[in-house]
């Protein structure tokens, strides 16, 4: 599922924000509680295939309140201007990356 995120060292953070959701009982949060092993995949596409790339981060996720990780919330707010006025109020998803892998069309 698409998410906004920020990276600080070996940690990726995303959050449940104020955008409308069908339910406050999000399946992704239940999945993390049941099995914290996660992967994040980021890709970049261009018509010039030599400029394609992707990176994958494998790790373990934990759910945390923003107050317990103000530096991670600050990283999200710094990256996304939309959060300047209304920072996320839901839980943070904190992913401690154990393995990075990737590929690029440039070789």
Query: Quick one: pLDDT band at residue 89, thresholds 50, 70, 90?
Result: confident
Beta bridge partners of 41: 56
Instruction: For residues 32 and 34, give the distance between their C-alpha atoms in angstroms, rounded to a whole number.
Output: 5
Q: What is the rounded average pLDDT of the residues 87-107?
A: 93
- 8 φ/ψ angles, rounded to the nearest 5 degrees: -130, 100
Q: What whole-number percentage of the chain has pLDDT above 90?
A: 77
* The CATH number fitting domain 6-102, selected from 3.40.50.2000, 2.40.50.500, 2.30.110.10, 2.170.150.70: 2.30.110.10
Domain boundaries, the chain: 6-102
* pTM, rounded to two decimals: 0.88
Tell how far CA 67 is from the center of its chain. 18
If you count them, how many residues does the chain have?
107
Is residue 96's pLDDT more than 60?
yes
């Amino acid at each position: 599922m698409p998410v906004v995120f920020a990276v600080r060292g070996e940690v990726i953070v995303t959050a449940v924000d104020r955008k409308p959701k069908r339910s406050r009982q999000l399946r992704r949060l239940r999945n993390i509680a049941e099995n914290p092993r996660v992967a994040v995949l980021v890709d970049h596409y261009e018509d010039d295939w030599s400029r394609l790339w992707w990176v994958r981060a494998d790790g373990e996720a934990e759910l945390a309140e923003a107050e317990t990780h103000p530096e991670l919330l600050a990283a999200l707010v710094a990256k996304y201007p939309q959060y300047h006025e209304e920072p996320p109020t839901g839980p943070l998803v904190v992913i401690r990356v154990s393995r990075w892998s990737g590929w690029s069309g440039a070789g």
